[in-house]
Structures are given as structure tokens and as C-alpha cells.
Structure 1
Amino acid sequence: MKEKRYSRNRSGNDIVSHGFLILVSVVSVFPLYYMIVSSTNTSVDVLKARLLPGGALLDNLKTLAATADFFTGLKNSLLVSLAGTLLAICITSLAGYAFEIYHDKGKDITMSVLMLSIMVPQAVTLIPMYLLFAKLNLLNSVTGYILPFVSSAFLIMLFRQNTRTFPYEIVEAARIDGLGEVEIFLKIFLPIMRPVFSTATIVAFMNIWNEYLWALIVMQSPGSKTLQIVLAGMTAGYTVDYGMMMLLALISTIPLALMFFCLQKSFTEGIAGSVKS
């Protein structure tokens, strides 16, 4: 009797748990579904909250392609995201590696200061950064856009935490064999810690690609607009083509989705490694 009651209670709990997970999944996926469906509908259908696919996808695509700012924004977003991600990975991986391999109390204090910088809201630093970049003539430039992202405190912490799981004996053995510090980092550390680099790549690319506020301030000329600025500007006119706007929003999510699906296994391993350490 006890076993039957236990099995009934367990089956009842499973039903509740699965029902809750299904509900959360539907709520999470619905915005993406609505964006995809809306990109195939006309602006009128989007305002009517139509939930079924329409036949206006090609028309929306043609209208979007005729928009001069679209290709400019796409090119600028890809340029700043790829260049910024590459620089961010190079700088933060070296910093995180050095913080742990060449560990001392001074570096612990420096790391604590870096972690405190994460708590400072971005809006607080916008005016000082704008004035600084204006004096350095870095407005409307790729360099001015990506500089705030290349030394992310979060990525430095991520690399440092994962470096704690890296066997220090390998470093000592490599030094005995005559390898230099740069060779140890490139030939030994980088291949072993590949999941961490994948995780950092996704985080860095996502942060730079989705950035809006800093892009709005520093990229002011028409030729330097990113895709997020172009998307936000579509609501500034007298009439808004919501179908085309949803299509642009969908296109802007494709690079992030592709990168995550290609690197999701390594992303999970990298996050798990930083938590375990």
C-alpha cells in the first residue's frame, strides 16, 4: 500500500512539474514565435496581433532591402562585434591567466577593484566616457565603440576562475622543457581551456552586438549607425512598418542564435568550470 501511495504521489508531482515546465517554456518561446510570425505579416496584421504566419515576408524583405541604413547598420554591427570580440578575448584571457598563474596579494586587491566596477551602472559613466572619447577624437569610429568592451571585468573573472582548474604542474613542466610564457599560453593553455574561450566569445559578441545606449552616443553620424540604432530609428517616423521592423529584429537575432547553437556545449562546460572552481 505504501508503495502504491508513493508511486501515486510521485506521478502526481511529475505531472505538476512537467506542467509547470511546459508553461514556462511556452511563455519563454512565445516572444520569439511572435517575432517570426510578425515578420511574415503586414503592419496592419501585426497591430491586430495576428498569431498565424502571413504572406508578406517577401514584401517586408524588399522594403527592408530598399532601406539604405539597413546594409550600413549590418556592416557596422558585424565589424564592431567581430573586432571587439577578438580584442576582448585576447586581452581578458591574458589578464585572467596572469591573475591566477602569477598570483599574489596585490593582484587579489586589483581583482576586487575590477569586480566592484561591475556594480557601477553604465549610465553613470556615459558622460565622462563621452567627454573623454570626444577629446581623443574617437567618436563615430570602430575604436571608440569597442574600447569599453575589450577589458570586461566579467570576462577577466571568468578566465581567472577557470584558470584555477588548470594544472599548474603543466606550466612548470613546460618551463623546464624550455617553452616561453607566450608559447605555454598558446600551445597548452588555449587548447585545454577551449570551452572557456567559447563561453567568453559568446558573451563578448552578445554584449557588443546588442549594445544600444553606448552606440547611440558614440556612433552619431549616419554612416556609423549599428543595426540596433537602425532598428530603434524605425519607430521615429510618422508611420511605422511593424512587419518590416519585426523582420529586422529577427535578422538581428540570427548571428547570436547561430553562434550559441554552434558553441552551446562548450558554453555550458565553460560556465560549469567557472562555478566549480
Structure 2
Amino acid sequence: MNKKFNIINIFKYIFLSVLSFISIFPFIWMIIATTNKSVDVTNGTLIPGGYFIENLKNLLASDLKYTTAFKNSLVISIITTVLAMIVSSLAGYAFEVYKSKSRERIFNFILLSMMVPFAALIVPLFRLFSKFNSMGPLKAIAINTSGAVIIISVATAFLIFFFRQNTKSFPKDLIEAARIDGLSEIGIFFRIYMPTMKSTYAAATIVTFMASWNSYLWPLIALQSPEKRTLPLVISALGSSYTPDYGMIMTAVVIATLPTALIFFLMQKHFVAGMTGSVKG
């Protein structure tokens, strides 16, 4: 019986090891590709070379302004994530805690908006944001500004739904106790709800940051000046040349992957708990 059990375990480990290798191989190949010439990458070389510095220099010296695009993506992603955490969590919290006759109707209408493909909204959004150029206070979110990219991701149906579902597991007795102690509703949210729901915020932060960092379609439409471009636009432009330098492209991709990987590894401890709706103090 023990021998049979050991054999099953061995096959399990072999199977999981093969799956793990298949999953991680594209990342290994991508890192190796940064150290090789373009011709070696196209030939499928799996041996590290010595051209990483050269690829990096070519990338930084290119006309596409990779460093500027990196800064643009970083600023947009951070601001989007911070604002989305505040606005969407406030909405999700309010939908769950405060009861009204029209609450469910409004929430269902928000959920229905998830059924509309984003491609169908591009033309209306472009026409709307184009009009903001002639409106003084709204110029900050007009076409060809970072605000136009940020504003549409601050309150999404998914995030509102996500925070509301997780708020169901939030102990309501804490709210009542805080009200009895004289704490304001805003104080309850910022001083009790947010610290208690840190796992939920960690999961939402990872999802929002990655979505903003990798966003391509709307920035392609909204950001029309070269100095406003984000990383996905620049990386796409790198691969659209007549003779693309794959070593340089892989270097650009690896560097672009680092912020999202860093965010995930810093918050992975709370990520699973947040996605499953757990509440931890």
C-alpha cells in the first residue's frame, strides 16, 4: 500500500514539475532573449549571450522615448489605482451598508454595463472627451491628456461588484459600535473599514494596477502625441518596424514586466485571501 502511494506521489510531482516548467518557460526564454542579438532570437537560441547592455543602449537611444513612456505608464497606473481604490470601494461599501428602495436597481444597472464591449464605447467616449478641450475645468481630462486615460478606470463595474461582495463578510457590529462611539460615517470607512479589508484592497490593487499598466486600446485612441505614449504603445511600435530588433523588444518587455511583478510579489500574501472574500485585521 505504501509502495503504491509513493509511486502515485512520484507521478504527481513529475506531472506538476512538467506543468511548472511549461508555465515558466516563456519567461525564461524572454529573459534569455534580452541577452542575444535579433538574429539569435529568431533562430530560437536558448543560450544566454552577452548583448544585454547593447540591447538596453539601443532601446534607450531609440526615437520612441522608452523612458518617457515608462514614466507615463507609471504615473497613470499609480494615480488610477489610488483613485480606483477610494472611489470604487466607497461605492461598494455604500451599496452593501446603506439600504434604499432603488439600491438594487442601480446596482443591477451597473452590472449590466459589464455586458457592453469596450470597443463599442470607443467612438462615444472619443466624441465626449474631445468636447472637453473647449471646457476650461475639464481640459485636464480631454483627449491627449493622462486624465482621459485615468478617469474611465476610476470606477469600474467589476471593482464596485468586487468590493460589495467582499463587504458582505465585513462585521457590521463594528459599524454600529463606531456609530455609538460617535465616529462619523467617513471616519468609519477610513479608520475601520479600510484597515480591516486590507486583503481585499491588496487583491483589487493588483488587478487594477495590472489592467492600467497593460491597457492598450483606449490609450491608443486618447493619447495622440508621442510624448504622451504609454509602454504598451511604444512596445507595439517597436515591433511594427520593417526589420524589428527582437533583442531590443524583449529587453523592453522584460523591463515593462518588472513593476507588475514587484506589485504582485509584495502583495501576494493578501491576494488569495482578498480574492476569496476573507477579512483579516
TM over 0.5: yes
Amino acid at match of 2:51: A
List gaps (5 residues or longer) in structure 2.
Answer: 134-141
Q: Give yes or no for contact 1:161–1:274 (8 Å, CA) kept in 2.
A: no
**2:168 is equivalent to residue 173 of structure 1:** no
Q: Which moved more, 1:235-244 or 1:248-257?
A: 235-244
Q: Give yes or no for contact 1:196–1:270 (8 Å, CA) kept in 2.
A: yes
> In the TM superposition, what is the alpha-carbon distance from 1:146 to its structure 2 partner?
1.1
Q: 1:88 & 1:154 partners in 2: Cα distance?
A: 11
Amino acid at match of 1:207: A
Amino acid at match of 1:80: I
Q: Give yes or no for contact 2:206–2:264 (8 Å, CA) kept in 1.
A: yes
Distance 1:8 1:121, change over 3 A: farther
The two structures have a TM-score, normalised by structure 1, of 0.93
Q: 2:108 & 2:25 partners in 1: Cα distance?
A: 40
Q: 2:156 & 2:122 partners in 1: Cα distance?
A: 16
Q: Give yes or no for contact 2:33–2:247 (8 Å, CA) kept in 1.
A: yes
Q: What secondary structure, in the 3-state scheme, does the structure 2 residue paired with 1:136 have? A: helix
**2:73 is equivalent to residue 73 of structure 1:** no
Partner of residue 105, structure 2? 109
Q: What secondary structure, in the 3-state scheme, does the structure 2 residue paired with 1:149 have? A: coil
Partner of residue 41, structure 2? 46
Give the total of aligned pairs: 270
> In the TM superposition, what is the alpha-carbon distance from 1:8 to its structure 2 partner?
4.3
Q: 1:87 & 1:259 partners in 2: Cα distance?
A: 17
The two structures have a TM-score, normalised by structure 2, of 0.92
- The percentage of aligned residue pairs carrying the same residue is 45
Give a deviation string over 1:50-94, Cα, whole Å, max 9, x none.
111110001011111112411111111011111111111110010
1:184 is matched with which residue: 183, 188, 192? 188
Q: 1:274 & 1:153 partners in 2: Cα distance?
A: 21
Partner of residue 139, structure 1? 143
Give a deviation string over 1:101-120, Cα, whole Å, max 9, x none.
10345222222222222222
Q: 1:161 & 1:244 partners in 2: Cα distance?
A: 44
Q: Give yes or no for contact 2:199–2:278 (8 Å, CA) kept in 1.
A: no
Distance 1:128 1:179, change over 3 A: same
2:56 is matched with which residue: 33, 46, 61? 61
1:238 is matched with which residue: 242, 248, 263? 242
List gaps (5 residues or longer) in structure 1.
Answer: none
Q: 1:62 & 1:136 partners in 2: Cα distance?
A: 39
> In the TM superposition, what is the alpha-carbon distance from 1:270 to its structure 2 partner?
0.5
**2:202 is equivalent to residue 207 of structure 1:** no
Q: What secondary structure, in the 3-state scheme, does the structure 1 residue paired with 2:35 have? A: coil
Distance 1:106 1:15, change over 3 A: farther
Q: How does 1:16-35 map to 2 (within 5 A)?
A: 16-35=11-30
Give a deviation string over 1:96-147, Cα, whole Å, max 9, x none.
1101110345222222222222222221211211121112231110110111
Q: 2:117 & 2:48 partners in 1: Cα distance?
A: 40
Tell me how large the CA RMSD over aligned residues is: 1.5
Amino acid at match of 2:200: V
Q: 2:164 & 2:239 partners in 1: Cα distance?
A: 42
Give a deviation string over 1:125-177, Cα, whole Å, max 9, x none.
11211121112231110110111111111111111111111111111111111
Q: Give yes or no for contact 1:195–1:270 (8 Å, CA) kept in 2.
A: yes
Amino acid at match of 1:24: L
Amino acid at match of 1:144: A
Distance 1:53 1:159, change over 3 A: same
Runs of 4+ in 1 over 2 A off after TM superposition: 7-20, 103-106
Amino acid at match of 2:167: T
Q: What secondary structure, in the 3-state scheme, does the structure 2 residue paired with 1:81 have? A: helix
Partner of residue 85, structure 2? 89
Distance 1:41 1:161, change over 3 A: same
> In the TM superposition, what is the alpha-carbon distance from 1:17 to its structure 2 partner?
2.7
Q: Which moved more, 1:197-206 or 1:20-29?
A: 20-29
